[in-house]
Every structure is written in C-alpha cells, then in structure tokens.
Chains A and B, each alone.
Chain A
Amino acid sequence: MNSLYMHLPILPVLLPLVAGIVLLLLQGRAIVLQRSINLIATLGLVGLSLLTLDHAASSTPQVYLLGNWPAPFGIVLVLDMLAAWMLAATAVLALFALGYACIGTDQQGRSFHVLFQLQLFGLNGAFLTGDLFNLFVFFEILLLASYGLLLHGGGRERVRGGLHFVVINLVGSTLFLFAVGTLYGVLGTLNMADLALKISQTPAENHALVQSASLLLLIVFALKAALLPLYLWLPSAYGTTSAPVAALFAIMTKVGLYSILRVFSLFTDDLKSPLNTWFFNALIPIALATLLLATLGALASTRLRQQIAYLVIASAGMLLLSFSLENVPARAAGLYYLWQSSFATAAAFLLADLIRNARGDHADRFEPGPVMQRGVLLGSLFFVTAIALVGLPPLAGFLAKFMLLRAATEHAQVAWIWGIVLTSGVITLIALARSGSLLFYRAEGPVRGKYTTASSSQLAPIIGLLLVIGFMVVAANPLSDYALRAAQQLDDPSHYQNAVLNRAATSHPAKGDIQ
C-alpha cells in the first residue's frame, strides 16, 4: 500500500499509456474486446483519480522524480490538490463519453479506442507535470490524439473545422517553444518551481525578455483555452465533431485555463516579480469580454451544437474571470464551476446528438421541425441540462456563480463583474429557452428523412452526467471545501516550491494584503 502511494503521481499517466498500447496491438480484433479493455482502463482511471483526490488532500504536494534525478535537473511530476481535482474531472468525463461512444460512434472510424486512451495520457500528463518543456510535450501528445479524435468519422464539415484546429494549434506550439526557449536562455531552468524563483530574482535588464516570454506563454494558453481574440477555431471544430469527442473536449479548453492558473500563480507570486505588470491586470476585461461575446454567439447560433460550443467559450471566460481575481474564494468558486461546466457541456453535446438523430433531415438546426420519438423524455433532459448550463438553482452552476459573485464583492471593478456575469446569464437563458421551444414546442408532423430513436443505453450516460451534477449539489459542502483548500495551496506556492526543490520549509512572507 505504501509503495502504491509512493508511485501514485505517475500511475494516472502510465495507466492510459499502457491501455493505449494494448489497444493498439488489439486493433482489428473484436470490437467487444476493445470496448471492454477501454472501459476497464477508464473505470480504473476513475478509481485511481478518486484515490489521488483523497491522497492529495491529506498531504503536502507530492513530488515524483523521474529517473530519480533531483529537481531542478530532472523532470518532476507534482501531485497537488489542483492536479488531483483536474484528474478527477477528466476521468469522470471520460467514463461517460466512452459509455456513449461504445453504443456505436466508435465504429464510424478506425482507432477510436487507442486515440481515446492516448488523449487521456496527454491530459493527465499535462496536469501532473512540473516542468515547462514537459508540459509542451504533453500538450503535443494530447493535441495529436485530439486531431485524430476530432476527425473521427470523417465528413466534409469535420475536415474543414479540423484543418483550422490543427493549423492554429501548430502555430500555438511554435509560440510555446519560442517562449520556453527564451525563458531557458534567460533563466537557465525549465522546472516551474525553479523558474518562479529565478523570475523574481531576474536583474532589471532582463525584465523585458522574461515579460515577453511570459506573454507568449499566456497567448498560447489563451489559444488552448479559447479566450477572446483566439476562440474563432472552436465553434466549427467542436460543433461538427462526433458527440462523445465533443463531450470529452469539454475538458480540453480547461487544460489551457489550468496552465494559466498553474504557471502564473507560481510566476507572479512574488510581488517583486517582473510579471506583476499591466498585462496581467488586463485578464479581467478579457475574461468579461469573452463571456459576453460567447453568450451573444450562443444567442446568434443557428444550430444546437454550435450553440453549445459557444457556451464552452463562455465557461472559459467565467473560469478566467475567477482565476484572475486573485483571491482564494474566487479561485475556489472557479474550480467548483470547472467541474460543473465540464459535465454540463458534455451532457449537452451528447443530448444534442440524440436530438439531431431524432429529427431526421432537420438535424439540429433551429427551425420548426417534426415531433421527435421519445420527445418528452428528451425535452425533460434538455430542460435539466439547460438549467445546469445557465446556472439556475437548484443545480451546481448556481452555487458556483453565487460563490464567484460573493468573492468579487470587494473587487474594485465589482460593478462590471456583477453586471456582465448576470447579463450573460440572462442572455444564455434566453438563448437556451429559444432553442428549447423551437426544438420541442413548435414541432408537428412526422419526421422526414432517416432518423433513429434514442435508446435507453444512449440516454444512460447523459442521465449519469446530470446525476453527477446533482451529486455536486448534495456534496457541495465537502467539494467546495476541497476547492477552497486547493485554492489556498495555490495562493501560497512556497509549499509547492519547497516540495519540488526539496528545501527545508521556509517562512513565506505574508501576502494576505495584496487584494
């Protein structure tokens, strides 16, 4: 048991990698075999991530030295509460997405199961690594798997959206490397904890270099997170891909946001850090503008899946807002919101697929259409999902927004924050109410064209995700407590740095009065 805990930080990376390799060898074998191995591996990952969630709460950040090279010379994996939180969200989301894919989507193209596990490998690695170049490598792994998954099933629209996604991410990878290179050239290290130390000790003549490299990093992460000027690739990519992939990709934009949170909470911790300048104060306006424009995009959408894709961008804006307020309760609210928004958008993507299949020729376009088979059930599920997406009581989104608004009351720009968050909520509500009434109320006549009736096994993953959101309300107290402690851990990175650099704990200067 002890050695299990000793190796716990690397297991969530190894399990999907091994499963992916095994699945690669089994390609062409019976689909039942591939499905069961993938399901077992993903179930194992859920169990493992719950174990890490429990373990991370009970100790200081746990550091895993790869090859036993001491940091900052070797590559380290770091398991702290934030990493465990992200791992758990990914694993739960993956389980339901896979459950839906196993009903038939996985057979529309080749290699679905291999790519699925490799995608999880990249995601988990990105959450656990403590090294900037290693983060780049895991980004490339998850991106390469995501290119394959995005194009799964083929088709004209998918190829067109996929091409944009691939090209813009390749440009992003180049920028990432430029940033990493500059940071290494100036500071001589790539370990994130060590970088944070070196940044705050940078002599003044190098400030401009460090600032421009960090700005490049921020741009790359904003690109992955689909923030304001860089989100145009997302609606066409997410809105056209197959449903389980879109559901899994609900966590992909969160990787960018996670990286912003992880890297910049370390880099800007020291008040003397050259990064405490204007451009990081510009994050709040960017977040608010993203939120507002994305909800307007949702209002203007002509297809259901496009609308949900815009809501993914809106949730990225909300998350950036909560992370850039730089206070602990706001970040905790953001982490809680991250779970709920990922699950809600995933459920919505899966549901949109069923609606599209049930409407025949009308697909998921917003136009008066036919009466769907099992329409009452689909409509009720849509209603619950919409409540979760908008953030109305009694579901978890309301709690998250409430916590965020309360955390922002002391902020100087509170009027803007409250105004835009609440306005965007109303716009989302109008947008979803309009789509719901168009899809379900203004329906008459039989279905034209080929249609399929939603089967109970297809509904199960959606209901499962909604139940998880319901569970988040029931368990709101322990979960928000956990998020709060994770945010506190981030707020004082000296624990992280001490753990990584294996220093004796030194007292950290009080920074309670920044905000």
Chain B
Amino acid sequence: MEGLIALVIGVLTASGVFLVLRAQTFPVVLGLTLLSYAVNLFLFVMGRLAIGVPPVITPNATAYADPLPQALVLTAIVISFGMTAFVIVLSLKARAELGNDHVDGRMEHKESQQ
C-alpha cells in the first residue's frame, strides 16, 4: 500500500515537473495542477496510512488516524484550487495580450525589438 501511494506521488510529480518545463502555457498550467495533486496526496499520507480508524476521539476506538494532515490538506486543496483558477485566467490574458501561448510571449515579428 505504501509502495503504491509512493509510486503514484512520484509519477504525478514527475509528470508535473515535465509539463511545467514545457514552453506553452496550457501544459504549464496542467503541470502545476498535477504538482498540486501530488503534494496534496503527499501531505495526506504524512499522517500514515490507516484504514477504518476514527480521526476524533470515540469510545471503544483502539487506534486513531492523525486528523492534522487532513486539516492541512483541506487548506492546501482550497489554496491550490484558487491558484489554479488564477493562473488559468492569467494565461488566457497572456494569450490575448501577447498574441500567442508561448510562456515568454515570443514574437516572431519585429515587435520584439521594441
């Protein structure tokens, strides 16, 4: 189980890093999204994997899941969600202002000399 989760996080991160290094804004946004999925999963499992145990105090419970990473990941999800929305709007704006979707807004014409 641990191995599987670690593998998933690793693959997500690797894909995210690969996509962030692309030259078009859309893959970059996707890469950022994958990176934030990876880190959210990572934060979540930092409380150790536990199945069928309560996070808050209940009578007769023999073991507990750590509730703090769950709270952290909730915060992180909200923040990364907002950031993704922002970066999508920004890349649309960049596409409109710069006339292409290159991350450097590369101009093939003379405009770059201005």
Listed in ascending order, the chain A residues whose CB lies under 8 Å from chain B are 133, 137, 140, 144, 147, 151, 154-156, 159-160, 162-164, 166-167, 170-171, 173-174, 177-178, 180-182, 184-185, 190
Contact = CB atoms under 8 A, between A and B. Distances in A.
B42 A181 contact: yes
A363 to B, nearest CB: 11
B2 to A, nearest CB: 12
A182 B87 CA distance: 27
Contacts of A173: 79-80, 83
B32 A164 contact: no
Contact of B32 (A140, A144, A170): A170
12 contacts: A151-B90, A159-B93, A159-B94, A160-B98, A164-B103, A167-B20, A167-B28, A170-B83, A173-B79, A174-B39, A177-B39, A180-B72
A449 B101 CA distance: 32
B83 A156 contact: no
A140 B79 contact: yes
Contacts of B82: 144
B64 interface: no
B20 to A, nearest CB: 6
Contact of A160 (B42, B47, B94): B94
B46 interface: yes
A167 B42 contact: no
B10 interface: no
B87 A166 contact: yes
Contacts of A163: 25, 90-91, 94, 103, 105
Contact of B35 (A151, A155, A174, A190): A174
A106 to B, nearest CB: 20
B30 interface: no
A144 B91 CA distance: 15
B104 to A, nearest CB: 7
Interface in B81-114: 82-83, 86-87, 90-91, 93-94, 97-98, 103-105
Contacts of B103: 163-164, 167
Contact of A156 (B32, B79, B90, B97): B97
A160 B83 contact: no
Contact of A167 (B32, B46, B48): B32
B79 A171 contact: no
Chain A interface main SS type: helix
Interface in B33-51: 35-36, 38-40, 42-43, 46-48
Interface residues of B, number: 35
B46 A182 contact: yes
Given A174-B39, A184-B46, A133 B20 contact: no
Nearest to B20: A171
Contacts of B104: 160
Nearest to B95: A159
Nearest to A133: B72
Nearest to B43: A181
A162 B90 contact: yes
Nearest to A182: B46
Contact of B68 (A160, A162, A167, A184): A184
B91 A174 contact: no
**Which of A133, A164, A190 has the most chain B CB atoms inside 10 A of its CB?**
A133
Interface in B56-82: 68-69, 72, 75-76, 79-80, 82
Nearest to A171: B20
Contacts of B87: 166-167, 170
Nearest to B36: A174
Contacts of A171: 20, 32, 35
Contact of B97 (A140, A159, A166): A159
A152 B90 CA distance: 12
Contacts of A162: 90
A270 to B, nearest CB: 24
A190 B68 CA distance: 10
A159 B42 contact: no
B97 A154 contact: yes
A137 B43 contact: no
Nearest to A160: B105
Contacts of A137: 75, 79
Given A144-B86, A174-B36, A159 B105 contact: yes
Contact of A144 (B35, B40, B83, B98): B83
Contacts of B16: 174
B42 A156 contact: no
A453 to B, nearest CB: 25
B97 to A, nearest CB: 5
Of all A-B residue pairs in the complex, the 6 with the closest CB atoms, nearest first, are: A185-B46, A177-B39, A181-B43, A160-B105, A181-B46, A174-B35
A13 to B, nearest CB: 17
A190 to B, nearest CB: 8
A318 B43 CA distance: 35
Nearest to A134: B75
Nearest to A140: B79
A139 to B, nearest CB: 10
A446 to B, nearest CB: 23
